[in-house]
C-alpha cells in the first residue's frame, strides 16, 4: 500500500516536535478536497470507491471514510441509487456564497481599522501575487490571492469569523476555479489588491470598505447559471 503521507519540516531546529502521521483517511480526504476545490473533480462527479482505491493504491475502507469526511464538509452528497458525488452548485448557492463573502470581508476591514492593525502582511501577499504575475504562474497567484483574503480575515482578530471563513472559502475557491477556466488574466487579478492595502494604510474607512466590497462584487459579476451548468 502506497504511503501518501506528507512530512512536516520544523520551522526552527531548536523547536523540534514529535512527528505524527495523519490517518490515511485524512490524507485521502485532503487530496480529494484539493481536487474538488481546484475544479479537477467538477461538481456532479460520481466518486467511485473502487476507481479511487485503485488510483491511490489503497483499500476501499479509507476511501469510504475520506468521502464521509468530505460529506461532512458539505463538498459531497449522497444520491439515491448512484452513491456519492461532488455536490453540484446552484445559482442561488453561488449568489449566497459571494454575499456572505462581502459581509465577512467588509466586517474584517472595519475591525482592522478600528484596532489600527498593521497591514504589512497584506502587502507581502500583494508582493507574492506580483511575483506570480512575473513568473506567469497561475497556481502561485491563486495561492497568494487566497492568502491575502485569509490574512485579511485573520488580522481582524475574530476567531469565529476566521472559522466560518475557512469553511466558506472552500466553496469560493471551487467557484473561482470553475469560473476562471480559460480566463486567467493574472495582472488584473493581482492589480485589484494593492489599492485595498493602501486605503487601509491610510486609515480611509470609506475607501477601504468601498474597494473590498467592489472587489467581491466584481468577482461575483458573472452569470451564476454558468457555474451551475458546469455542475450538471
pLDDT surpassing 70 at residue 105: yes
> Which residue did the predictor score with more confidence, 173 or 10?
173
Measure the CA–CA gap between 105 and 182, rounded to whole angstroms: 27
Measure the CA–CA gap between 56 and 87, rounded to whole angstroms: 22
Rounded to whole angstroms, what are the CA distances from 179 to 22, 63, 211, 226?
A: 33, 28, 22, 8
The domain ranges of the chain are 24-86, 92-227
Q: What is the DSSP secondary-structure string of 123-173?
A: HHHHHHHHHHHHHT-HHHHHHHHHHHHHHHHHHTT-HHHHHHHHHHHHHHH
Q: What is the mean pLDDT of residues 34-57?
A: 91
pLDDT-derived band of residue 10, with 50, 70 and 90 as boundaries?
Answer: very low
76-80, 195-199, 227-231: least confident range: 227-231
Q: What is the mean pLDDT of residues 149-173?
A: 92
Task: Give every CB contact of residue 95 below 8 A, 6+ residues apart in sequence.
Answer: 220, 224
Positive/negative CA dihedral, 8, 14, 15, 18: positive
What pLDDT, on the 0 to 100 scale, is given for residue 196?
97
Measure the CA–CA gap between 161 and 146, rounded to whole angstroms: 16
Indicate if 92-227 has the same CATH topology as 24-86: no
pLDDT surpassing 70 at residue 50: yes
> At the fourth CATH level, which superfamily is domain 92-227?
GntR ligand-binding domain-like (1.20.120.530)
What pLDDT, on the 0 to 100 scale, is given for residue 11?
42
56-60, 207-211, 225-229: least confident range: 225-229
Q: What is the mean pLDDT of residues 86-93?
A: 86
Q: What is the mean pLDDT of residues 146-151?
A: 94
Which pTM value belongs to this model?
0.76
pLDDT surpassing 70 at residue 28: yes
Whose cell is 480575515? That residue is: 153
> Which residue did the predictor score with more confidence, 54 or 175?
54
What pLDDT, on the 0 to 100 scale, is given for residue 61?
94
> Which residue did the predictor score with more confidence, 191 or 10?
191
7-16, 18-27, 58-67, 184-193: least confident range: 7-16
Measure the CA–CA gap between 53 and 151, rounded to whole angstroms: 36
Q: What is the mean pLDDT of residues 203-216?
A: 94
Rounded to whole angstroms, what are the CA distances from 196 to 3, 141, 212?
A: 43, 17, 7
What pLDDT, on the 0 to 100 scale, is given for residue 150?
94
Mean pLDDT of the chain: 85
- Percent composition of the chain: helix, strand, coil (DSSP 3-state, to 5): 65, 5, 30
Q: Which CATH number fits domain 24-86: 1.10.940.10, 3.40.50.720, 1.10.1200.10, 1.10.10.10?
A: 1.10.10.10
- Classify burial at 49, counting beta carbons within 10 Å of its beta carbon; exposed 0-12, middle 13-18, buried 19 or more: middle
Measure the CA–CA gap between 53 and 44, rounded to whole angstroms: 19
Amino acid at each position: 500500500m502506497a504511503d501518501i503521507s506528507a512530512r512536516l519540516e520544523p520551522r526552527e531546529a531548536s523547536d523540534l516536535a514529535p512527528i505524527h502521521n495523519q490517518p490515511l483517511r485524512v490524507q485521502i480526504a485532503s487530496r480529494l478536497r484539493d481536487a474538488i476545490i481546484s475544479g479537477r473533480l467538477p461538481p456532479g462527479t460520481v466518486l467511485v470507491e473502487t476507481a479511487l482505491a485503485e488510483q491511490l493504491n489503497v483499500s476501499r475502507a479509507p476511501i469510504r471514510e475520506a468521502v464521509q469526511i468530505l460529506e461532512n464538509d458539505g463538498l459531497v452528497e449522497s444520491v439515491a441509487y448512484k452513491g456519492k458525488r461532488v455536490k453540484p452548485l446552484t445559482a442561488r448557492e453561488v449568489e449566497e456564497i459571494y454575499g456572505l463573502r462581502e459581509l465577512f470581508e467588509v466586517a474584517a476591514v472595519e475591525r482592522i481599522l478600528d484596532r489600527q492593525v498593521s497591514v504589512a502582511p497584506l502587502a507581502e501577499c500583494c508582493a507574492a501575487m506580483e511575483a506570480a504575475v512575473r513568473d506567469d504562474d497561475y497556481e502561485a497567484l491563486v495561492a497568494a490571492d487566497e492568502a491575502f483574503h485569509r490574512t485579511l480575515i485573520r488580522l481582524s482578530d475574530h476567531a469565529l469569523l476566521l472559522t466560518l471563513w475557512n469553511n466558506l472559502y472552500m466553496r469560493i475557491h471551487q467557484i473561482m476555479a470553475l469560473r476562471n477556466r480559460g480566463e486567467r488574466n493574472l495582472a488584473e487579478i493581482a492589480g485589484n489588491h494593492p489599492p485595498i492595502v493602501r486605503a487601509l494604510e491610510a486609515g480611509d474607512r470609506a475607501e477601504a470598505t468601498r474597494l473590498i466590497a467592489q472587489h467581491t462584487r466584481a468577482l461575483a459579476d458573472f452569470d451564476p447559471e454558468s457555474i451551475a451548468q458546469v455542475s450538471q
